[in-house]
Structure 1
Amino acid sequence: MKKLGISVLISWLLAPQAFAQTLQQSDAIYKAVEEHITQELANAPSAFNDVKTAITPLDSRLRLQACEAPLQTITEFGNIKQKHLTIKVSCEAPVKWALRVPVKLQIFQHVVVASQPISRDQILTPRDVQVLKQDIAQLGDGYFQAEEELIGLSSVKSIQPGSVIKRHMVRQPLIIHRGETVKMVVSYPGFNLEAAGVAQMDGAVGDTIKVKNARSNKIIDAKVKGSGEVSI
């Protein structure tokens, strides 16, 4: 009789309906991950309206006890603007467990790209740039979203048509060139002193360049203020 009772109990435990009642359903885990990503996107500084999410399927052999408490989620690796994320999903009761779910994101936004070949040191005009939708999860930071931000800047390298233009690819245009005679200005309260100098290197507004005093031949650091003018 005792042996029969044990056999019945084992059969019940192995029955599909028993597992359906006690094991955590994969759909609930997927839903928790999706809700977590949705919340992360809502909290992001920029509005992301065109997003595609691909959650890596869970191992079909996974056996986790059904969670009675709400599933907890946290972004463990990556951030919401990166292509790959890992979301940690955990349960507190009745049995503690945790698993990591890899997620691939595609976030599409309008960014500025080159509309035609751009040469090094070329001053950008409206004809050189256009806005296209791109997956920014693959781009990293430093892209532009408005064409106006680039007009009048100078390229620091050649840029191919269709390439996303990033901040390290452009700079303020050079307005002082090596060998050029410049006016050096030293400001004091109520008056300025001026002297002639010779630029030892190229520079854009805001750059610090080497300038040789035309009178003393002393080389000093000066900040580019405008065309033909530096401040000391």
Structure 2
Amino acid sequence: MTIPSPAHMPLSLAACAALALTVLPATARPGFTPIEPIRATARAFLEGYAGKQYDKAEVKIGRLDRRLRLSPCEQALEGFLPAGSRIPGKTTVGVRCTGSKPWTVYVGATVTVRVHILTTTRPLARGEYLGPSDVTLTERELHTTTRAYLTNPADAVGKQTRRALPAGTLLTARQVKSPPLVRRGEKVLLLARAGALTVRMSGTALSDGARGDLIKVRNLTSRRVVQGEVSAAGVVTVNM
């Protein structure tokens, strides 16, 4: 029995043999972890991570040097987000083996997400209160998280605009503020607290203040000016 040389093989068989010789060194080196499982682990991790935070996410995994020689891993590969990495946008995802010969490799990636963001439906003047019909949810594509966009109508309705906003503005937390619960010149209840002891006094607010704001109040009895936190409508709490 004779084995035909490549020159005498059928064209399809010769082509398959040549292809196998070409692909084997790049993707299936004996004794080393292939590149594709690493990329697949990175993709699966980022898709799962982004899916918990955003409505839709698209993940693009960067290339890895196919000359990498990483020991075989008898454990399932693990993906993780290194310290300082964030999504969406360009990021880095780690893939590690926790087997008997552990290793870690970092893979570049780009994550693009689509989220529903609150958008103004009409032009709004500075200081105007937002009503339910003044905002709507619009799906937008985000490449970064540099702005704290609002995604829940409850975070905007009933609040005031800090400046004039044109129709179609994507709302951020910095563009709105809570309405004041205390107004300048109004009489307020001062609650001075020291441990379990609370003393009630009357005062005059020296500035407007929303819940959580620190404002100055003049004590109507002592005439002293103290600073406290607006805790409710007409109430300022001072921790002694």
Same fold judged by TM-score > 0.5? yes
Whether the aligned pair in 2 keeps the contact of 1:55 and 1:103 (CA below 8 Å) is: yes
Alpha carbons of 1:73 and 1:83: their partners in 2 closer, same or farther (altered >3 Å)?
same
The residue aligned with 1:31 is 40
SS at match of 2:81: strand
CA–CA separation in structure 1 for the residues paired with 2:78 and 2:199: 65
- DSSP 3-state at the match of 1:30: helix
**Counterpart contact for 2:28–2:34, Cα < 8 Å:** no
1:173-212 correspondence to structure 2 within 5 Å: 173-178=179-184, 180-185=185-190, 195=202, 197-212=203-218
| Alpha-carbon offset, residue 93 of structure 1 | 7.9
Structure 1 residue runs of 4+, over 6 Å off?
92-96
**1:42-81 alignment runs, 5 A limit:** 44=52, 46=53, 48-59=54-65, 62-64=67-69, 67=72, 69=74, 70-78=76-84, 81=87
Whichever residue aligns with residue 133 of structure 1, its letter is: E
Number of positions where the alignment pairs a residue of Structure 1 with one of Structure 2: 211
Give 5+ residue unaligned stretches, structure 1: 1-14
**Structure 1 residue 137 displacement after superposition:** 5.3
Structure 1 Cα separation of the partners of residues 141 and 211 of structure 2: 33
TM-score norm. by structure 2 comes to 0.66
Question: Taking structure 1 as reference, are residues 18 and 145 closer, same or farther at Cα in structure 2, changes over 3 Å only?
Answer: closer
SS of residue matched to 1:111: strand
Once the two structures are TM-superposed, the CA of residue 222 in structure 1 deviates from its matched residue by 4.3
Cα shift at 1:145: 2.2
Quick check: 1:129 aligned with 2:138?
no
1:38-73 per-position Cα deviation (integer Å, ceiling 9, x unaligned) = 34346x3x4x4421111122346x343673644443
Contact 1:118 1:160 in 2 (8 A): yes
* Counterpart in the other structure of 2:9: none
User: Whole-Å Cα distance in 1 between the matches of residues 145 and 180 of structure 2?
Assistant: 28
Give percent identity, aligned residues only. 18
- Greater displacement, 108-117 / 94-103: 94-103
User: CA offsets, 1:107-163, max 9 Å, x none?
Assistant: 212121223333332211123211011235523574332223311111233444433
Deviation of 1:25 (Å): 4.2
Answer yes or no: is the 8 Å Cα contact 1:77–1:87 preserved in 2.
Answer: no
Distance in 2 of aligned mates of 1:94 and 1:205: 56
Cα 1:66–1:207 shift into 2, 3 Å: closer
Correspondence for 1:116 = 122
Matched with 2:16 is none
Looking at structure 2, the residues matched to 172 and 17 of structure 1 have their Cα atoms a distance apart, in angstroms, of 62
Distance 1:56 1:225, change over 3 A: closer
RMSD between superposed Cα atoms in Å: 3.8
**C-alpha distance in 1 between matches for 2:212 and 2:102:** 57
**Residue aligning to 1:5:** none
Unaligned runs of 5+ in 2: 1-20
From the superposition, tell whether residues 215 and 194 of structure 1 become closer, same or farther in structure 2 (CA, over 3 Å): closer
Structure 2: distance between partners of 1:72 and 1:223: 47
Aligned amino acid, residue 173 of structure 2: R
- What's 1:87 paired with? 93
How far apart are residue 209 of structure 1 and its match? 1.8
